[in-house]
């Protein structure tokens, strides 16, 4: 959720990110310089910390939090190579090597999950951004101020309700016996549809509800960029005789490029992560729909909580993390080659 | 100078209004459906299904929800508690971290930044995290298990850092130091005051996360008394025997003649009510927070 949010601060974030990157590069240089006298570096580090001990103490809760919450679990990826037994310790479970991965691969699970995860994310990214840009442009053309404010607020509203409410909505509309859709169909004398038994429909429904929930959010981001474009460009274009569509196409759209690229890059970085809440609340444990709707996140969650296959679940999770890591590194590397400005780090 | 609009102008205006109106309806319709269903008599739902306008108006759904209000009130309490504690703690830690990382004279800030940032690039995954929480930290059924996930996120910290960098000029640190203020005092008396808009935005996002969280309950909580509000709702929606269970505890048999469908919808409204009610007042802070980076001045 927060990735998109932050990515919006592309201006600052980009600057910060660049600084960060070069400074980190600077830091590694420093490290390599003192590699010969590591003791010196250590002493220097401790000296620095004791001089700034208040600052260090203020940072300490954060450091401990990430150590426990993020770094400790990294050790646990060892489970992926074991036949997990909940009663024994981390390194006591039977070591099985790559068996878990082999099973995931041979059963085709890994391929199907990767395909679904990446496929849905690509649809989300493309449709989400294109529609958000179109809506933002249209909204920015509205001349009645209160109407503009009101509609913007309404479109942003779905972002604020929980995914459980989303599942209530889906239940309300699509449940077979009394859902709104079937009630409506009945009124026109049509046959009721059993949506919960039709896997293919859910591809569209998931994308639809993703858009319903997130479009307002990205729209607000693009709208802000449009508001920031100087009126002078438009006035000048008007004088030159450009009509409204030409002004949009040749001024507004190019001006949105930076925002678009930043949002795109952040989204690409997390393409292996799914919208777990969305998928789980919409599909739940409805096995009929797994083929078209199962993503890595839901598979891992189910393996953990429903089928208790911890080794397998860890293996799938590790695959997801590693694949994502390699992907983000590659994407970032390519972007640095093309245009350093946009690089994430 | 005013130049006459071209002939396409009207076309675009028409398009703009129709698309925004349609889209707004699409955003509101689902809520109207739920509200309507929550106000419909249960028999009428079972007979004719859900409608946009209640076919038979009735408050029985809400009456059932509040007939045994302990469950929903307790869930409200849990969510309220975790939201307040989590948001307060998270804000406190993250503003401190943002402040420290924004101090250019703190020498190893880049190493620490990277330490925080790296967790977004690679992670152990859900399972090792779950096992750590349950088996090693013994957090099952504790409020900590509801507060710790999402307490701090790397992006919010970096965001906070950027907020502080723009809100507090570097020279202010210097002059405060010369005046004899300690590092924490500078944070408490200057940084917090000056970066209030940023703190409000980050705080609201954090609060929203806690209010809408159901995942932590589903992972770590077995004791139904500690369910978060959203997870309570999730169970109401997903358990057909909800009403029967509700009666079971009190020794009264209620199954059969109670409004289940309308109760589900009424429960959804009760759960999401505060968000819908507060939304008009808080949404501008979210918009402001989102736009602060793009619009200069």
Local confidence band at A132 (pLDDT 50, 70, 90 cut-offs): very high
A36: pLDDT strictly greater than 60? no
What is the pLDDT at residue B20? 92
Beta carbons of B33 and A180 less than 8 Å apart: yes
Residue A174 domain flag: yes
Whichever domain contains A139, its CATH number is: 1.10.3720.10
- Name the 3-class secondary structure at A83: strand
* CA-closest candidate to residue A168, choices B291, B73, B261, B115: B261
Six-digit token string for A148:
């503009």
- What is the per-residue pLDDT across B42-75, written as a single tens digit (0 to 9) for each? 777 777 777 778 878 888 888 888 887 888 899 9
Q: pLDDT band for position A133 (50/70/90)?
A: very high
Q: A62-72 burial, b if ≥16 CB within 10 A, otherwise e?
A: beebbebbbeb
Each residue's pLDDT tens digit, B158-171 = 888 888 888 888 88
The pLDDT tens digits for A45-89 are 888 888 888 899 999 999 999 999 999 999 888 888 888 777 776
Q: Within an 8 Å CB–CB cutoff, is residue B240 touching chain A?
A: no
Cβ B103 vs Cβ A65: under 8 Å = no
Contact, B222 vs B139, CB < 8 A?
no
* Percentage above 70 pLDDT, chain A: 88
| CA gap A297, A317 in Å, rounded | 8
- The residue assigned the tokens 């640190």 is B173
Return the ∠ at Cα B14 (arms to B13 and B20), rounded to 5°.
Answer: 90
With cut-offs at 50, 70 and 90, classify the pLDDT of residue B147.
very high
The DSSP-derived string for B5-42 is --THHHHHHHHHHHHHHHHHHHHHHHHHHHHHHHTB-H
Q: Rounded to whole angstroms, how far apart are CA atoms A110 and A137?
A: 40
Name B57's bridge partners.
B40
The confidence band for B258, taking pLDDT boundaries of 50, 70 and 90, is: low
Residues 260-289 of B with CB under 8 A from A: 261, 264-265, 268, 271-272, 275-276, 279-280, 283, 286-287
3-state secondary structure of A82: strand
Number of structural domains found in chain A:
1
**CB–CB of A220/A156 below 8 Å?**
yes
CATH code for the domain in which residue B205 is found: 1.10.3720.10
Residue B233 belongs to some domain of the structure: no
The pairs formed by A294-301 with CB atoms below 8 angstroms and a separation of 24 or more are: A294/A112, A294/A113, A294/A116, A295/A113, A295/A116, A295/A117, A295/A120, A296/A113, A296/A114, A296/A117, A296/A272, A296/A320, A297/A117, A297/A273, A297/B126, A298/A274, A299/A109, A299/A113, A300/B125, A300/B126, A300/B127, A301/A276, A301/B126
The radius of gyration of chain B from alpha carbons, rounded to an integer in Å, stands at 25
Q: Which distant-in-sequence residues (6+ apart) come within 8 Å of A120 by Cβ?
A: A206, A207, A274, A275, A295
User: Hey, which residues 255-284 in chain A have their CB within 8 Å of chain B?
Assistant: 259, 276-277, 281, 284
CA distance A296 to chain B (A): 11
Please give the span between the terminal C-alpha atoms of chain A, in angstroms, as a whole number. Answer: 20
Is A94 strand, coil or helix? strand
Residue ranges making up the domain that contains A283:
103-342
Q: Say if B152 falls within a structural domain.
A: yes
Residue B208 lies in a domain: yes
Contacts of B105 (CB under 8 A, 6+ apart): A52, B173
C-alpha distances in angstroms, B1 versus B7, B175, B219? 19, 48, 63
B242 in any annotated domain? no
In sequence order, what are the residues at sequence separation of 6 or more whose Cβ sits closer than 8 angstroms to the Cβ of residue B89? B147, B151
Q: Please check whether residue A267 lies inside any domain of the structure.
A: yes
B246 assigned to some structural domain:
no
- Does B170 map to a domain? yes
Q: What would the 3-class secondary structure string for A148-200 be?
A: HHHHHHHHHHHHHCCHHHHHHHHHHHHCCCCCHHHHHHHHCCCCCCCHHHCHH
Q: What is the pLDDT of residue B2?
A: 57
- Chain A hits for B127, CB-CB cut-off 8 Å, are 76, 79, 300, 303-304, 310, 313-314, 317
- Classify residue A6: in a domain, yes or no: no
The structure's pTM equals 0.85
Residue B244's Cβ-count burial label (10 Å; 0-12, 13-18, 19+) is: middle
The boundaries of the domain holding residue B213 are 70-220
**A17 part of a folded domain:** no
8 Å CB contact between A303 and A309: yes
Other C-beta atoms lying within 10 Å of the C-beta of residue A42 = 11
**A25 has pLDDT over 60:** no
As a whole number of Å, the end-to-end CA separation of chain B is 25
pLDDT level of residue B133 (50, 70, 90 thresholds): very high
Give Dmax (Cα) for chain B: 79
Domain assignment of residue A77, yes or no: no
Report the percent of chain B where pLDDT is more than 90. 30
| Average pLDDT over all residues of chain A | 81
What's the rounded Cα separation, in Å, for the pair B193 and B170? 15
Could you tell me if residue A71 is inside a domain? no
Gap between the Cα atoms of A154 and B287, Å rounded: 12
Q: Can you give the pLDDT at residue B245?
A: 47
Virtual CA dihedral for A287, B218, A160, A268, nearest 10 degrees? -60
pLDDT at A20 over 60: no
pLDDT of residue B172 exceeding 70, the answer is: yes
CA distance linking residue B81 with residue B104, whole number of Å? 37
For residue B96, pLDDT over 80 is answered with yes
Rounded to whole angstroms, the Cα distance separating B81 from B187 reads 27
User: Is there a domain that residue B193 lies in?
Assistant: yes
Among the partner residues A56, A66, A216, nearest to B115 by beta-carbon distance: A66
The answer as to whether A142 is a domain residue is yes
The predicted structure's pLDDT at residue B160: 86
- Whether B213 maps to a domain, the answer reads yes
Query: pLDDT grade, residue A35 (50/70/90)?
Result: very low
> Minimum mean pLDDT among A90-94, B154-158, B210-214: which range?
A90-94
Which pair of tokens denotes residue A56? 């260090």
Q: Does position B148 have pLDDT exceeding 90, yes or no?
A: yes
Query: Are the CB atoms for B155 and B120 separated by under 8 Å?
Result: yes
Averaged pLDDT, B236-250? 55
B148 reaches A (C-beta below 8 A): yes
The confidence band for B3, taking pLDDT boundaries of 50, 70 and 90, is: low
| Total domains, chain B | 1
| Neighbour count for residue A249 (Cβ, 10 Å) | 13
Provide the β-strand partners of residue A94.
Answer: A83
Interface of B with A in 20-79 (CB under 8 A): 20-21, 23-24, 26-28, 30-31, 33-34, 37, 45-46, 48-52
């Amino acid at each position: 959720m927060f990735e998109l949010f932050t990515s919006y601060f592309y201006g600052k974030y980009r600057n910060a990110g660049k600084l960060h990157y070069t400074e980190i590069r600077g830091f590694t240089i420093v490290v390599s310089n003192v590699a010969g006298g590591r003791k010196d570096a250590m002493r220097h580090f401790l000296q620095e910390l004791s001089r700034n001990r208040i600052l260090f103490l203020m940072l300490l809760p954060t450091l401990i939090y990430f150590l426990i919450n993020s770094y400790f679990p990294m050790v646990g990826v060892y489970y992926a190579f074991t036949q997990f037994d909940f009663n024994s310790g981390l390194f006591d479970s039977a070591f099985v090597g790559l068996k878990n991965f082999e099973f995931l691969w041979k059963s085709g699970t890994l391929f199907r999950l990767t395909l679904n995860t990446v496929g849905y994310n690509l649809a989300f990214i493309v449709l989400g951004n294109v529609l958000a840009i179109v809506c933002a442009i249209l909204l920015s053309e509205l001349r009645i101020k209160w109407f503009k404010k009101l509609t913007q607020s309404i479109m942003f509203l779905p972002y604020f309700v929980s995914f459980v409410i989303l599942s209530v909505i889906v239940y309300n509309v699509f449940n077979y016996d009394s859902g709104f859709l079937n009630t409506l169909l009945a009124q026109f004398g049509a046959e009721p549809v059993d949506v919960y038994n039709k896997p293919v429909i859910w591809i569209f429904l998931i994308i639809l509800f993703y858009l319903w929930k997130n479009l307002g959010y990205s729209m607000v981001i693009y709208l802000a960029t449009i508001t920031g474009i100087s009126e002078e460009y438009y006035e000048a274009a008007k004088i030159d005789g450009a009509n409204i569509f030409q002004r949009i196409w040749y001024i507004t759209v190019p001006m949105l490029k930076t925002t678009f690229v930043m949002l795109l890059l952040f989204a690409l970085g997390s393409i292996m992560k799914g919208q777990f809440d969305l998928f789980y609340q919409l599909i739940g444990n409805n096995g009929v729909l797994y083929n078209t709707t199962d993503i890595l996140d839901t598979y891992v969650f189910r393996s953990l909580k429903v089928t208790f296959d911890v080794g397998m679940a860890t293996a799938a999770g590790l695959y997801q993390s590693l694949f994502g890591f390699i992907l983000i590194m590659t994407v970032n590397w390519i972007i640095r080659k093309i245009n350093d400005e946009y690089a994430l780090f | 100078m005013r130049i006459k609009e071209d002939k396409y102008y009207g076309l675009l205006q028409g398009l703009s209004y129709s698309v925004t109106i349609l889209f707004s309806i699409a955003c509101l319709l689902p809520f109207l459906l739920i509200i309507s269903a929550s106000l419909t008599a249960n028999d009428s739902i079972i007979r004719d299904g859900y409608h946009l306008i209640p076919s038979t108006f009735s408050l029985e759904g809400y009456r059932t929800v509040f007939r045994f209000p302990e469950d929903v009130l307790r869930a409200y309490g849990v969510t309220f508690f975790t939201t307040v504690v989590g948001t307060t703690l998270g804000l406190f830690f993250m503003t401190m971290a943002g402040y420290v990382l924004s101090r250019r004279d703190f020498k190893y800030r880049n190493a620490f930044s990277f330490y925080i940032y790296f967790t977004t690039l690679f992670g152990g995954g859900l399972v090792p995290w779950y096992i750590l929480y349950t088996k090693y930290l013994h957090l099952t059924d504790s409020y900590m298990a509801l507060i710790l996930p999402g307490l701090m996120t790397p992006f919010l910290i970096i965001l906070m850092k950027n907020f502080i960098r723009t809100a507090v000029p570097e020279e202010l640190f210097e002059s405060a130091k010369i005046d004899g203020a300690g590092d924490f005092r500078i944070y408490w008396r200057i940084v917090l005051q000056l970066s209030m808009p940023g703190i409000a935005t980050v705080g609201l996002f954090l609060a929203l996360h806690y209010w809408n969280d159901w995942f932590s309950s589903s992972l770590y909580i077995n004791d139904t008394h500690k369910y978060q509000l959203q997870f309570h709702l999730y169970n109401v929606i997903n358990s057909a025997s909800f009403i029967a269970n509700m009666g079971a505890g009190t020794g009264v048999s209620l199954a059969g003649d109670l409004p289940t469908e309308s109760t589900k919808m009424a429960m959804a409204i009760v759960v999401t009510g505060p968000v819908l009610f507060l939304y008009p007042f808080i949404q501008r802070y979210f918009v402001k927070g989102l736009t602060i980076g793009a619009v200069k001045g």
